[in-house]
Each structure stands twice: as C-alpha cells, then as structure tokens.
Amino acid sequence: MKLLYQTHSPYARKVLVFAHETGLAGRIDVIHHETSPTRRNPEVFAHNPLGKVPVLLREGQAPLFDSDLICACLDTLHDGPPLIPAAGEARWHALRLQAVAQGMADAGIAVRWETERRPPPLRHPPLRDGYLAKLVAAYDWLEAGLDTDGPLHVGHVAVATALDWLRFRGLPDFRADRPRLTVWFERFAERASMRATPLSGDTCD
C-alpha cells in the first residue's frame, strides 16, 4: 500500500499513527505531497477528486481518502485488537471523540486562514474568534469527557494527533487549566507511534 501524505497535516498523521499502532506501518510506503486549496497537486487529484491528503492507494483496488475511512479500512487488515470498537456505546464513544478531534483540526485550519494564510484585507476577525471559541469549548469538553484509562481506540489517536498539531501551529494552548487532558496528552505523545511521525514543514499556498 501507498499513503499520500503531508508532514504537517493532522489528518494524514492520524492515519500514520493509527498504522503504527496496528502494526501496519511497515506495509505502507509513505509519499509526501504538498497540497493546498490555492495550489493544485495533479498527482493527488488523480486519486482524490477533493485534491487532499491522506489518500491510501491499494494495489488493484480503488483509492481511499479521508482519514476516518482510511483508519476504518486499516482496522480490518491487522490481527490485533480492533481500534474501532465493533458495537455498542464503546463504538459511539470512540467515534464521537474522533469527530471532536476532526472538528478541532478543521477549526484550527480556519483560524490560520483568518490570521496567517488569507491576505490581510480579506481576514475577518469575528470569524477567527468564532473558531477560537470552538477550540476552547472542545478542550473543556475533552478535559471532562476523555477516557484516559481504558483500552486504546481510534478516538485517542485522533485527539492526540489533533492536539499535537494545534500545539505545533501555536494555536490556543489546551494545557492551560486542564490538568487531566495535559497529563494524558503528554503520556500519549511519548508513544512510539507519535515519536515516529513528527510534524514538520509549513503549508505552501
């Protein structure tokens, strides 16, 4: 398999951390691609009509895109305990955490558009503030609702990679007055899967 990747994408990193946690990383060739809404990458568009990474290329099969879908596929390819619970409240809890993490990354990207990436005359501070409020609310929600002692699941991977990307980009610090979330994140960041997939680089618009 091949993974079209970006070293500064929270979504792509989630997939690669997931692959490491399931023991599948050695079966995947990781190929870095720069993508941006303002710079078309024809190689990525050839496999994903949205022009975004991550994209998982499988021999003789259709490419898969979107980190949630790729993780779901990878979870069927290993022999260890599933990281996406099969049924019941455990499943909905893990997928709900994954959804919150996805929303945090989306909000962080939107903040960067309104503070760095969009030309200054086109930036809209009220929109920036609205997305910042979403981040703070999500941090507080995780402080109260993240399961820190149970078995590893996809929600943990998604939350950890999203938080690390927010920290990498200098967005609001989730560690302020959130001791429970901070301790959990710092422990997770020491996992081999996280240490093997460091964030680097910057978006080229």
- Cα separations in angstroms, 184 against 77, 110, 144, 167, 177: 28, 26, 12, 15, 14
What would the pLDDT profile of 21-43 be if each residue is shown by its tens digit?
999 999 999 999 999 999 899 99
- Confidence band (pLDDT; 50, 70, 90) for 203? confident
Q: What are phi and psi of 32, to 5 degrees?
A: -75, 135
Q: Is the pLDDT of residue 137 over 90?
A: yes
Which of these three, 74, 97, 115, is where a domain ends? 74
* Strand ranges for the chain from DSSP E: 2-5, 29-32, 55-57, 64-65
- Confidence band (pLDDT; 50, 70, 90) for 146? very high
* 97 & 183 share domain: yes
Query: What's the rounded mean pLDDT across residues 105-124?
Result: 97
* 119 & 150 share domain: yes
Specify the pLDDT at position 19.
98
Q: Is 115 exposed, middle or buried (0-12, 13-18, 19+ CB in 10 A)?
A: middle
- Confidence band (pLDDT; 50, 70, 90) for 204? confident
Q: Residue 112 maps to which CATH number?
A: 1.20.1050.10
* Parent domain of 100: 88-195
pLDDT above 70 covers what percent of the chain?
100
Amino acid at 86: A
In contact, 193 and 21? CB cutoff 8 Å: yes
* 40 & 128 share domain: no
